[in-house]
């Protein structure tokens, strides 16, 4: 029997543009279908905070859809959220090349630490509803977030990027495999009650 392969691709949409095009009601209804049983913080953020944070420009969320080439089928497969922060990294975890790059981009530094502005990947997760998580891989989703930041940094400068995750072997393996290096720990704020444990591991990567 002849098998028919349907070509597919990913479409990224800034949540602010989705709200503008569809209105807040329809956008909320799309987001309400997102589930992430492995990480309730990822699920609750997209359902209850992402719209408000996008409006306030606290952070910007980007939805990733899987779509067939004919446009007949579209599925929400994941999302990531980016915001701008300032980080301090101990020089002991940086390579000589990384310190050189940071110095040349004008970071504030002492004998022991570098302090500089960097984009934070504040959220990242696949949508587990109806098996949509199988339509995208974690590295592809993370690469989309990195590409987005790389394009912004091409215009405004900067080379570093960071993120924070729960202290779980699976997550640390995932991010280490994608060239992120651990540089510290952050105690949770009181309102971060969807996160397991009392702290988050911080990791950074240099974008080439």
Task: Tell me phi and psi for residue 150, to 5 degrees.
Answer: -60, -40
Out of 126, 161, 180, 203, the only residue in the binding site for ligand COA (CB under 6 A) is 126
Q: Which two tokens stand for residue 47?
A: 């359902």
Q: What is the C-alpha separation between 12 and 15, in angstroms, rounded?
A: 9
Residue number with CB closer to ligand COA (42 or 102):
42
Least distance from ligand COA to the Cβ atom of residue 148, Å: 16
Question: Given its phi and psi angles, is residue 23 left (phi above 0), alpha (psi -120 to 50 degrees) or beta?
Answer: left
Least distance from ligand COA to the Cβ atom of residue 20, Å: 27
**Beta-bridge partner residues of 187:** 199
Tell which positions 11-70 bind ligand COA, by CB under 6 A: 36, 38-39, 42
Residue number with CB closer to ligand COA (85 or 154):
85
Out of 58, 134, 137, 198, the only residue in the binding site for ligand COA (CB under 6 A) is 137
Q: What is the C-alpha separation between 70 and 204, in angstroms, rounded?
A: 39
Interface mask (CB under 6 A) for ligand COA, residues 168-187, using x and -? x-xx--x-------------
Out of 19, 138, 183, 199, the only residue in the binding site for ligand COA (CB under 6 A) is 138
Residue number with CB closer to ligand COA (77 or 102):
77
Encode 113-138: b = buried (16+ Cβ within 10 Å), e = exposed.
ebebebbbbbbbbbbbeeebbebbeb
Least distance from ligand COA to the Cβ atom of residue 132, Å: 11
What's the chain's length in residues? Answer: 208
Q: What is the C-alpha separation between 176 and 148, in angstroms, rounded?
A: 20
Q: By 3-state DSSP, what share of the chain in percent is helix, strand and coil, each rounded to 5?
A: 40, 35, 30
Residue number with CB closer to ligand COA (22 or 182):
182
Interface mask (CB under 6 A) for ligand COA, residues 64-103, using x and -? ----------------------------------------
* Site residues (vs ligand COA, CB under 6 A): 36, 38-39, 42, 124-126, 137-139, 141, 165, 168, 170-171, 174
């Amino acid at each position: 029997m002849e098998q028919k392969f349907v070509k597919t691709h990913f479409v990224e949409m800034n949540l602010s543009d989705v709200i503008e095009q569809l209105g807040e009601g329809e956008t909320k209804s799309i987001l309400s279908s997102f589930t992430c049983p492995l990480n309730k913080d990822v699920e609750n953020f997209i359902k209850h905070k992402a719209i408000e944070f996008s409006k306030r420009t606290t952070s910007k969320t980007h939805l990733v859809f899987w779509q067939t080439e004919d446009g007949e089928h579209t599925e929400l497969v994941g999302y990531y959220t980016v915001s701008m922060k300032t980080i301090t990294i101990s020089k002991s975890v940086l390579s000589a090349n990384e310190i050189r790059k940071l110095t040349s981009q004008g970071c504030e530094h002492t004998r022991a630490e570098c302090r500089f502005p960097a984009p934070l990947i504040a959220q990242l997760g696949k949508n587990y509803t109806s098996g949509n998580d199988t339509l995208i891989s974690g590295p592809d989703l993370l690469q989309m977030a990195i590409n987005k930041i790389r394009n912004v940094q091409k215009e405004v400068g900067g080379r570093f990027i960071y993120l924070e995750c729960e202290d779980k072997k699976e997550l640390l393996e995932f991010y280490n495999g994608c060239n992120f290096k651990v540089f510290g720990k952050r105690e949770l704020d009181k309102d971060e009650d969807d996160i397991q444990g009392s702290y988050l591991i911080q990791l950074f990567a240099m974008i080439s």
